[in-house]
Amino acid sequence: MSSADAPSAESSAEAVRPVLADAVDIARAALDELGEGGIGPHLGVTAENDCAATHRFVADLPGYRGWQWAVVVAAAPESDHVTVSELALLPGPDALIAPEWLPWSERIRPGDLGPGDLLAPAPGDPRLVPGYVETGDPEVDETALEIGLGRRQVMSLEGRLDAAQRWFEAYGPDTEMAKAAPSTCMLCGFFLPLAGSLHAAFGVCGNEFAADGHVVHAQYGCGAHSDTTLPTGAGSPRFDAYDDAAVEIITVAAPAESDTAAPAESGTVEAEGPEPPAEPTVTEESTVTDEAPASEESTVTDEVPAAEEPSATDEAPAEEPTVTDEATTSDDTGRPEQTD
């Protein structure tokens, strides 16, 4: 009985003898006696032959999703007594099982061989054929060794074609690298051709920046070809380095309004027109008091605009002292006098 013979949950008991089909309780009791637990609902019964049948139950065990308990019961012909023949845990149709077993020699893949590992060729390996057999004559044997005939086995035509196909697919003219290359390996100075029958088609790349150490096809190519030249103007432009950390951004305030009008406290009035030799100012002595009478000399000249007249206190008379470009003088009474 194998897992391939496992029936589905809809198995019927049409071809099973009634005495065997009715032995569900006997089969479950045998599983309970086993003591493994995880006995689920009854799935059905199938006939093995006229004297035996298999009852199947769901296996509710961790890690065994889709597996089934199988109990084989038997009864002699014309007998109504049933006995249990065997118990087993078998995978069902939806069970997760391991792949089919493969011999060790068939599980080896390229790249599995490590340092110290030994891998002998299979007996009758089609990739190898007998080589030159030594004759015992030193002169003949030494000459044969020099031309490559001193090996007991050499690659067969099938083995060479198989290797050439692998190399062609990995480093051949149909690869994306070769299609974008400026030239081919056959014209490259780093190309080291093979000897023997593969001399014209394959060689080893000796450029450490390309396919170094790999067997490449003569029509393969890459951008590291020995004849590659850079186009004119390639590379970085010759500009001085720009250090943005050395640039300091300073915010310049807007220019202040014209200082043509002096503050009221100072009483300074600037006259329009060319710059006078000295800035006319009104000293503290020129402050108008309650005792200062109005005079004819206190008129405002035409050179001073009305808007630039100095302010007076609330008790000053209506007329304001005149400011001229000349120096300030005083009259006999000691009060300041403005003259042209």
How would you classify the pairing of strands 67-74 and 128-130? unpaired
The answer to whether residue 301 scores a pLDDT higher than 50 is no
Number of CB atoms found within 10 A of residue 282's CB: 20
CB atoms within 10 A of CB 304: 20
State the average pLDDT for the chain.
75
Give the pLDDT score at 117: 80
Amino acid 226: pLDDT: 92
Q: Using one digit for the tens of pLDDT, what is the confidence trace for 311-322? A: 444 444 445 544
- Quote the pLDDT of residue 259: 55
3-state secondary structure of 142: helix
What percentage of the chain reaches a pLDDT higher than 90? 30
For 58-112, write each residue's pLDDT tens digit.
998 888 889 999 999 999 988 888 999 999 999 998 888 888 888 887 888 888 8
Q: What is the pLDDT of residue 184?
A: 94
Q: For position 43, what pLDDT does the model report?
A: 92
- What integer is the mean pLDDT of 147-155? 74
CB 21 within 8 A of CB 45: yes
Structure tokens at 161: 């074609």
Distance CA(303)–CA(271), nearest Å, equals 6
